[in-house]
């Protein structure tokens, strides 16, 4: 294990980014009174850019602009909406490298991962919905000799979309697509930790969409709460922590706003006694450490039969020891820093608690204490049990507890004994057995011999405290942003 994270190949100070913009009613502008706030590079802990700090007056303007644009956009043909997204895809693709560089600087992820995130946005904007395949056409449910009975999908109005700091552009793409293809208008509010790429996207949205359809509003967490509670917002879509999701649901409740909440996960990987660990260990490690563990569906805890515990720990520890950690813009880096100091400190505290409870660090730990930036080494903790915070809570970082069990039925119960239910996986040489066990796990997505599995045709979301509603799944995701209207027509 390196004692110091890999640094950029050059010692030159990176160029400062220009201040981004609000987008309100099709116009790029600064915040009221010119207020701005810093964007911090998590690899250095230093500010490298500034973006507008929107006020509640700016918020009122953005919501009013979205409301004014809604009737015409809701009435626009499906093909016209798809064409606007195709234009956004072309504009984003032309600036792909610029966006990827900014994404690495503000979020911390390796440049290759940032490039993949931008590419996924381009692909989604361009191809998730086809202009010649409208998915929200009126559907006849019954026809009699005298009447036709139909169901229509009706857009609701203004959507407030609040995105997280782990995948700021990917989550922007998901929410923007489903909200606006279905005929709503939107106000996008990025995390204050990663606002830069969203404010850069404001210029693209201003060119690709009619004025007011897409509005961009960076600012503090308090601004997000005010947006969620705004009287003229019809739907709130939020991805982030359970605590914030509950606060948003409470803010939306008095007006009976609809909410789509994609919250946390404490996702188990259940390793059966017959699992092929040579194949399973690298796959579990990748699924635990992707984006330095800052993924809602990452493996957060591994349950392995006692007879295979030490072997799995040894294999995972060897992978952790070889991991290349450093500045996301440095050559050869596999894992960047945590996005912010608070998250780094939380991971540190959870690992310390696990060790105090009898666990042992098999690899990693706080190897980079005292270094600049918010680094924490990929960490494997063995001999830890249910009840330790590292097992029971979502760490959202590169620290994986390995927990042993003796009976598969008991292990299933322990996997399910959580307030979370986002994703889970089963690892075995017997796929039929794995399928049976996987479907006993309380999670929105389950998989056999893989983790973070999914497809555009599958809806994404969770059970219990992992959220409300679903994203993706084509029509399913779109209908989270519409109302059903029943229509009875004489023949």
- For 426-475, the DSSP string reads EE-S-HHHHHHHHTTS-SSEEEES-SS---TTSEE--SGGGEES-EETTH
For 114, the token pair is 């940032």
DSSP-assigned beta bridge partners for residue 485: 152
Q: Where are the beta strands (DSSP E) in 229-275?
A: 235-239, 258-262, 267-271
Check if the beta carbon of residue 167 is closer than 8 Å to that of residue 193.
no
From the list 178, 262, 393, 394, the catalytic residue is 262
Strands 235-239 and 214-216: unpaired
Q: Where are the beta strands (DSSP E) in 42-168?
A: 46-52, 139-143, 147-155, 158-162
CB-neighbour burial class of residue 95 (10 A; exposed 0-12, middle 13-18, buried 19+): middle
Q: Residues near 258 by Cβ (< 8 Å), separated by ≥ 6?
A: 156, 234, 235, 236, 252, 480
Q: What is the DSSP letter of 135?
A: S
Would you call 471 a catalytic residue per the annotation? no
Write out the H or E segment, with its range, that includes residue 30: none
Phi, psi of 338 (to 5 degrees): -65, 155
- For 162-213, the DSSP string reads E--SSSHHHHHHHHHHHHHHTT-EEEEE--TTS-HHHHHHHHHHHHHS-TTT
Write out the H or E segment, with its range, that includes residue 62: helix 56-75
For 359, the token pair is 């666990």
Q: What order of strands is seen across the sheet that includes strand 214-216?
A: 27-29, 22-24, 214-216, 185-189, 158-162, 235-239, 258-262, 467-468
CA atoms of 374 and 272, how far apart (whole Å): 35
Using alpha carbons, select from 377, 295, 374 the residue that is nearest to residue 334.
377
Active site residues: 262
């Amino acid at each position: 294990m390196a004692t110091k994270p890999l640094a950029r190949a050059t010692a030159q100070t990176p160029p400062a980014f220009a201040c981004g913009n609000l987008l309100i009613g099709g116009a790029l502008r600064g915040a009221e009174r010119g207020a701005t706030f810093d964007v911090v590079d998590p690899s250095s802990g230093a500010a490298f850019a500034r973006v507008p700090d929107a006020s509640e007056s700016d918020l009122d303007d953005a919501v009013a602009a979205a409301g004014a644009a809604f009737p015409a956009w809701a009435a626009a043909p499906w093909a016209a909406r798809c064409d606007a997204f195709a234009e956004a895809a072309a504009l984003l693709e032309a600036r792909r490298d610029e966006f990827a560089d900014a994404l690495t600087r503000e979020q911390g992820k390796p440049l290759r991962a940032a490039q993949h995130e931008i590419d996924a946005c381009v692909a989604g904007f361009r191809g998730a919905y086809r202009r010649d395949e409208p998915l929200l056409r009126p559907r006849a449910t019954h026809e009699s000799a005298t009447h036709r009975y139909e169901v229509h999908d009706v857009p609701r109005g203004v959507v407030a979309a609040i995105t997280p700091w782990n995948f700021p552009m990917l989550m922007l793409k998901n929410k923007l697509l489903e909200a606006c293809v279905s005929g709503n208008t939107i106000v996008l509010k990025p995390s204050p930790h990663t606002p830069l790429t969203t404010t850069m996207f404001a210029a693209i949205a201003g060119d690709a969409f009619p004025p007011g359809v897409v509005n961009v509003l960076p600012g503090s967490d308090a601004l997000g709460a005010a947006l969620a509670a705004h009287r003229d917002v019809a739907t709130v879509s939020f991805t982030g922590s359970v605590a914030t999701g509950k606060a948003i649901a409470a803010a939306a409740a008095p007006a009976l706003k609809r909410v789509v909440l994609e919250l946390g996960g404490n996702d188990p990987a259940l390793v059966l006694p017959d699992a092929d660990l040579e194949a399973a260990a690298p796959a579990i490690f990748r699924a635990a450490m992707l984006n330095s563990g800052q993924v809602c569906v990452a493996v957060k805890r591994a349950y392995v039969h006692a007879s295979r515990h030490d072997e799995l720990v040894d294999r995972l520890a060897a992978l952790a020891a070889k991991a290349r950690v450093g500045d996301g813009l440095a050559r050869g880096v596999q894992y960047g820093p945590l996005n912010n100091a608070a998250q780094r400190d939380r991971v540190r505290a959870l690992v310390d608690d696990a060790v105090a409870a009898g666990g042992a660090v098999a690899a990693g730990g706080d190897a980079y204490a005292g270094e600049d930036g918010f680094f924490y080494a990929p960490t494997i903790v063995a001999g830890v049990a249910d009840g330790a915070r590292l097992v029971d809570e979502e760490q959202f970082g590169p620290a994986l507890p390995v927990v042993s069990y003796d009976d598969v039925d008991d292990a299933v119960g322990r996997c399910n004994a959580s307030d979370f239910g986002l994703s889970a996986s089963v690892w075995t040489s017997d796929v039929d057995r794995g399928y049976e066990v996987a479907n006993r796990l309380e999670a929105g997505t389950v998989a056999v011999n893989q983790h973070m599995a999914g497809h555009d045709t599958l809806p994404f979301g969770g059970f219990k405290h992992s959220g409300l509603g679903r994203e993706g799944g084509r029509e399913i995701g779109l209908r989270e942003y519409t109302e059903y209207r029943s229509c009875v027509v004489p023949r």
